[in-house]
Structure 1
Amino acid sequence: MPTRTDERGIRHYDVPLPVDLVDMLRRTVAARGDHPAFVTPTGRATWAEVGGEVDGLARRLRGAGVTEGDRVAVLAGNGLPFTTAVLATWAAGAVVVPLNHRLTAADLAVLVGDSGPGLLLVGPGMEEAATATATCAALDAAAPRVEVADADGRFLAGGPEADLPAATPGTDAPAAIMYTSGTTGRPKGVVVSHGNALQNAVTCTTVIGRRPDDVELVMVPQFNITGLCSQTVPVVLLGATAYLLDGFEAGRALAAVREHGCTSTVGAPTMWWRLLGHAEETGDDALAGFRLALFGGAPMPTALLERMRAAMPQATLGNGFGMTETCSMITYVGGEDAVRMPHTVGRPLPLTELRLRRPGTDDQDAAPDEVGEIVVRGGQVALGYWTPDGIAPLTDPDGWIATGDAAVLEDGFVVLRDRLKDVIKRGGESVFSFEVENVLHQHSGVLDAAVVGVPDEQYGERVVAHVVATPGSGLTPDEVRAFCREHLAHYKVPSVVEIRDELPRNPGGKVVKALLRDG
């Protein structure tokens, strides 16, 4: 994949691209107008229809006083109201703030107060949360104007209209403030540019292999960096079709795949566990139609990968790794490499420069085979963090961002070891929770697992595994520890195994290990 470097030495894909995300949609509407764009359980729309709805809402946003650079917050589940609101905000020249509707009203109020939108667009079924958010005591800034979608899912229906901006925002303009999941503290608002999103969309199309004739199942939240920038935006760039599933449930997802012929999707490993389990229990072969089945966030357990291959023999399997600050992806492994090296998250993307830095140093690279912190730069790295005083840099002066992830390189493939903050120090040895978790996931009786270190007088820390058992497996702690002894060095074997009904997760779906350490 050809790349070029800018004046700072940062790589970008060297392919013809729209000027920005507004230009992207307009080109797709012109070229693919009659093609199905978005499908939901309640309806569908062609690209021409989407273009008309977006243009109308953008003019109503301008009529409501939204101008270039203003923030517009959106609180809605996956669907046409959310998608139209995001695209229309860009067409109006503004910056969208997608809000996680799983948050409490108090947490939502903090994000609204931080981003300072003048307008909050509220989708169907979210009215109560929006009212609480706008009036919550945690909201120190002026409350935004709240506009709820009508019965047809339209925002500002019947409101005054005004002319759209004379020019589209441009490549370097802010497009969205995407909040991190906040596993270690208050979420940060990452400012993603139009160019960042387009660069990542090239990864998701040209590099990974999505096509204009694909039907993408969007089953992760669209407010998330993956759902918005690695699924919705690439679908618009291609003029493909997306089925928008509001709320993941395995049976509903499989029904959508079967009814609408979905060919590609992205899911967390736990989603794939549930999809495969439901399909196997019911004899449903809907997954066999996939040609691209992606996962992300961590290496895929070998046992689960084998089940995916059996259920989707024609599909290319792939693992993408990244973060909100990099507008989603920085590495990828797909096809036979994904099967051959399931313990990795792939090679750096063509536009990604990646180094492993020795922890505790500013500029020393780790030695070969030494664990180091992943630092990257590339055209997908976001503009910075949102602050009341403007956009604060998230990179060093040369464009490098430290990810906080420990890894080693194996033949050019990145092998994650742990989050640096989660490395367990036991008796002078480093135990990487990812390695132990990967072994746990090989056990057929383990549905989900998380490993943490807790204080220990003798060893400094001891390894504790929290395991969710596969229903009906009868899994016991002794059985788990015996399995680990077969596959791990003795000091890595969990001292304690706790069988739990579920793991504590934040509203973004990530395991909150601090809660496991505390008790």
Structure 2
Amino acid sequence: MANLVALEMPIGVSLVDFIKTCADNHEAFTVLDPNLSPQRRSELLDTLRPTDLIDATGHRQKLEGDPVVDGDGAVVLTSGSAGRPKAAILTWDALQASATLTTQALARDGEQCWLAAIPPMHIGGLAVLLRSVLADASLLFDASIESAPALGATHVAVVRTQLHRYDTSHYQCVLLGGGPPPPSVPDNVTTTWGMTETGSGVLYDRQPLKGVELAVVNGELLIKSPTLFRAYRDRPRPEVSTPDSDGWFPTGDGATLIDGQLQVHGRLANVINSGGEKVWPEDLEELFRAIEGITDLAVVGRDDVEWGQRVTVVAVSDREASELLNRCRALARERFGPWAQPKAIELVSAIPRTSNGKIARGLL
């Protein structure tokens, strides 16, 4: 068995050095945000159950946690967009495979220097650091997204909000993840799909990385990959079989696969069943973002006696609700059909989101 060391420190050189030390000592690690509230910190420690904790000063203390299996490398929290986050265990072999495959796939001219612009508590930000720890990339800290290229940064990983807000045209490669991409992106942007359980992105521009296998069974995306997690902290990894082989991981995402091109629709658990028709909230959210006067939104299904669920828009806006609802209905009818039209709109002051920007649907 091996120790699980919680690294409670900000992103920076010290954090990377301690990750390297864990690798050298054959210990697993998890990254804990030093700015958590006491209650949230206690909740996450209960989920992660580390055996040791190292703080920003380098002080190490023993905790009453549980060790992990030899060979385990990192325990990473899922986004928790649908509720309590799960703690996924990734082996050092899986982390190495992810770092190697992604570094190779994102190679451009010369050496890679990544700006660390995403918090490392989740897999997207952690993967950037591991491309330095386990591959041959270098890292840049303490620079803004727009100033970093002048300081030598060639690569950056961002979420959609950052891509919208900042000029990223001077990077060789911008890796865009964390949710559905916009309809079009600049030439230097690579879109990615992945999840904590797949060890970061395994699809780039809708194509699988080397060694990654895809299948779609009953509308659900299945994955085989050398980057897959070993288990959750409190349960085994779920697996399903296809007629051809065993050991597939059911991602919980709905998808279609046509001529090798994968289209991911969103979480199956989020599908709205209204009058027998299935409505993907992510598709409507993408459509409604273009409506003038809506600053943020989510689409949800509310229980309905007649329809089973009614499509409902939850929006942040200073416009009249009836005006926005009519516009949403017209767009949905034109793009998808009458069955996709929202039946209600709710105006709120803010859309709850997770720490990495995803809609916290469990709070809506």
Q: What TM-score bracket applies, with the shorter chain setting the length?
A: 0.7 to 0.9
Structure 1 residue 111, shift from structure 2 partner: 3.2
Separation in 1, partners of 2:214, 2:269: 20
**Where in structure 2 are the equivalents of 1:221-370 lying within 5 Å?**
221-229=119-127, 231-245=128-142, 252-254=144-146, 256-257=147-148, 259-275=150-166, 287-302=168-183, 305=184, 308-309=185-186, 315-333=187-205, 346-358=206-218
Q: Is the 8 A contact 2:50 2:64 kept in 1?
A: no
Q: Which has the higher Rg, Structure 1 or Structure 2? A: 1
Select the residue among 412, 421, 440 that pairs with 2:269: 421
Structure 1 residue 494, shift from structure 2 partner: 1.8
Separation in 2, partners of 1:446, 1:202: 41
Structure with the largest fraction of strand: 2
Q: Is the 8 A contact 1:332 1:349 kept in 2?
A: yes
Separation in 1, partners of 2:35, 2:309: 34
Separation in 1, partners of 2:296, 2:170: 27
Amino acid across the alignment from 2:100: V
**Where in structure 2 are the equivalents of 1:52-63 lying within 5 Å?**
none
- Partner-residue secondary structure (3-state), 2:229: coil
- Partner-residue secondary structure (3-state), 1:392: coil
Could you tell me which runs of 5 or more consecutive residues in structure 2 were left unpaired when the two chains were aligned. Answer: none
Amino acid across the alignment from 1:84: D
Separation in 1, partners of 2:157, 2:325: 32
Q: Is the 8 A contact 2:22 2:28 kept in 1?
A: yes
Amino acid across the alignment from 1:495: K
Report the TM-score when normalising by structure 1: 0.62
Deviations 1:89-117 (A, max 9, x none): 22222111212446432332233244443
Q: Is the 8 A contact 1:444 1:470 kept in 2?
A: no
Number of residue equivalences: 354
Over 3 Å counting, the alpha-carbon distance change for 1:468 and 1:253 in structure 2 is: farther
Structure with the largest fraction of helix: 1
- Partner-residue secondary structure (3-state), 1:220: coil
- Partner-residue secondary structure (3-state), 1:72: strand
* Aligned position for 2:226: 379
Separation in 2, partners of 1:143, 1:415: 40
Q: Is the 8 A contact 2:3 2:27 kept in 1?
A: yes
Separation in 2, partners of 1:181, 1:481: 31
- Partner-residue secondary structure (3-state), 2:233: strand
* Aligned position for 2:308: 460
Report the TM-score when normalising by structure 2: 0.85
Over 3 Å counting, the alpha-carbon distance change for 1:379 and 1:464 in structure 2 is: same
Separation in 1, partners of 2:36, 2:249: 28
Q: Is the 8 A contact 2:178 2:357 kept in 1?
A: no
Instruction: Say yes or no: does 1:96 pair with 2:18.
Output: no
Select the residue among 28, 34, 39 that pairs with 1:106: 39
Over 3 Å counting, the alpha-carbon distance change for 1:382 and 1:444 in structure 2 is: same
Could you tell me which runs of 5 or more consecutive residues in structure 1 were left unpaired when the two chains were aligned. Answer: 1-67, 135-140, 145-171, 247-251, 280-286, 310-314, 334-345, 359-371
Separation in 2, partners of 1:435, 1:82: 38
Deviations 1:481-504 (A, max 9, x none): 444444331221222234444310
Select the residue among 179, 182, 185 that pairs with 2:77: 179
